[in-house]
Structure 1
């Protein structure tokens, strides 16, 4: 089992360079596998959209909380660290043009020597997605094509460049350099709680990050992902499963049980504590219990 650390969401620390750099360095020194940064391009005051991962249907942080761009934040942390992985969780695909996103992701991956993992999703906040210029109703089809576009651009096509002709995006002779550090490209995982998200993971991804589901639904979604991978001639055993859990709540017994269910990675949430020294102590204790 790999253990990642989620960067605190909506707190002032993540926009303080010294604070967040020290947080990242301590996570690396504890032996955690990766740092995970969430995304909202914009938060929306008074939204009618329901947040699907809370009983209240609302985020736990205020709309005016600071939420930095995840790729910019991870680029900064790449320079602060040397070996810890850098991951998004979840990057909202409809907010991004895939040609531009392919270049941004490849640049960060090659400068960090292959440390980037993209976990992407289709988003739930209608007003945010529409503010970014995408159609909410077609975001699922668009997301699948976006990943195809990025893979085409990351591939070694030679001097003739890449071509794509799809429903939403079209180009010919396109060269996107630098490419990713790894010849296989940046690994893409799909986050979500729906059957459609599990199918996208099986067909297009290197992994699946089910969000907000109980154990029976988790097992069902993993089965959907595996069957979809087989359907498209892909190896289901090569696909990773990632879950979120609270750092202080997760026990060694629960971690072992999740591993037996087929979970490969747990992203640990440290809570909304603002005191950096307390967070570092919390990470140290968690690492002693789970990582080492």
Structure 2
């Protein structure tokens, strides 16, 4: 099981974000990204919301850095770590917009992009952006097929129910011949979507027994990624045994990859915690 980092600062959920993140910016995030890159962690993340209604922001938070701008900056500071949108909402974008923007990022980063993609749940945001909410699942499936036909192609062609295009040049495009697509969700349908149209699944809020049950019932192909997250930040320096227990539990639940956050008092302390996590994980 490899370990990536759920980036701090860029998403600040009430009750989960550490106090230091409120006043942190790109310098602190860059310092953490360089440390994670140097230590060999698998990935960094950045999620997407354009605008969150005030009443919902009290529960979900209102701080969501733009993933394209953020990951583009982090690409310039790092050399090995992968850059993951966890998640980009498919319904907010035409597939060729995603192919162009993140294909450019893939070229800038020399092939380090993974697209984490989701159907979306915030109806108010869909309405604000003029996106269709009621049939978002079917549109997402069509968008995924269109993306797979378009990424890494200068002249992509696709004919689907909701998206249809051809005879257009998309330049630059992704340098990875098969750019990984991870699908977010927590339902059997999201897992089926991930298995049939993606390369990995990013579930949330599911108990380990339920995860094992769902994965056992699915025809999961070789090389398919199951990306899990601990329920709370890890404390590898302060509670190493508890951290090891958590890592083992997620591995045994079926994780091939972990998206972890760590408890920290500052950006410098965060980097120290990454050092401790790296040491612990190497012996797992």
TM-score band, normalised by shorter chain: 0.7 to 0.9
Whether 1:104 and 2:89 are equivalent positions in the alignment is no
Q: Which of the residues 135, 153, 162 maps onto 2:156?
A: 162
Q: Deviations over 1:107-164 (max 9, x none)?
A: 111211111111111122111122222121111111111111112122547xxx3332
1:122 touches 1:139 (CA, 8 Å); kept in 2? yes
- In the alignment, the residues of structure 1 paired with residue 229 and residue 134 of structure 2 have an alpha-carbon distance, to the nearest angstrom, of 27
- In the alignment, the residues of structure 2 paired with residue 175 and residue 247 of structure 1 have an alpha-carbon distance, to the nearest angstrom, of 45
Aligned alpha-carbon RMSD (Å):
2.2
- In the alignment, the residues of structure 2 paired with residue 267 and residue 58 of structure 1 have an alpha-carbon distance, to the nearest angstrom, of 21
2:28 touches 2:267 (CA, 8 Å); kept in 1? yes
Residue 3 of structure 1, CA deviation: 0.5
- Summarize the alignment of residues 78-117 of structure 1 with structure 2, pairs less than 5 Å apart: 78-117=75-114
In structure 2, do the counterparts of structure 1 residues 259 and 102 end up closer, same or farther at CA, with 3 Å as the change threshold? same
Residue 88 of structure 1, CA deviation: 1.4
- In the alignment, the residues of structure 2 paired with residue 58 and residue 12 of structure 1 have an alpha-carbon distance, to the nearest angstrom, of 16
In structure 2, do the counterparts of structure 1 residues 142 and 223 end up closer, same or farther at CA, with 3 Å as the change threshold? farther
In structure 2, do the counterparts of structure 1 residues 280 and 118 end up closer, same or farther at CA, with 3 Å as the change threshold? same
Identify the residue that residue 145 of structure 1 maps to in structure 2.
142
Q: Which of the residues 69, 88, 91 maps onto 1:72?
A: 69
Q: Deviations over 1:8-33 (max 9, x none)?
A: 2224466x222211111111122211
In structure 1, runs of 5+ residues without a counterpart are 52-56, 230-235
2:99 touches 2:174 (CA, 8 Å); kept in 1? no
With normalisation by structure 1, the TM-score equals 0.83
Identify the residue that residue 38 of structure 2 maps to in structure 1.
29
1:32 touches 1:291 (CA, 8 Å); kept in 2? no
Q: Deviations over 1:24-49 (max 9, x none)?
A: 111112221111112211121124xx
1:126 touches 1:136 (CA, 8 Å); kept in 2? yes
2:40 touches 2:80 (CA, 8 Å); kept in 1? no
2:117 touches 2:183 (CA, 8 Å); kept in 1? yes
With normalisation by structure 2, the TM-score equals 0.85
In structure 2, runs of 5+ residues without a counterpart are 13-20
In structure 2, do the counterparts of structure 1 residues 70 and 155 end up closer, same or farther at CA, with 3 Å as the change threshold? closer
Q: Which of the residues 237, 241, 247 maps onto 2:226?
A: 241
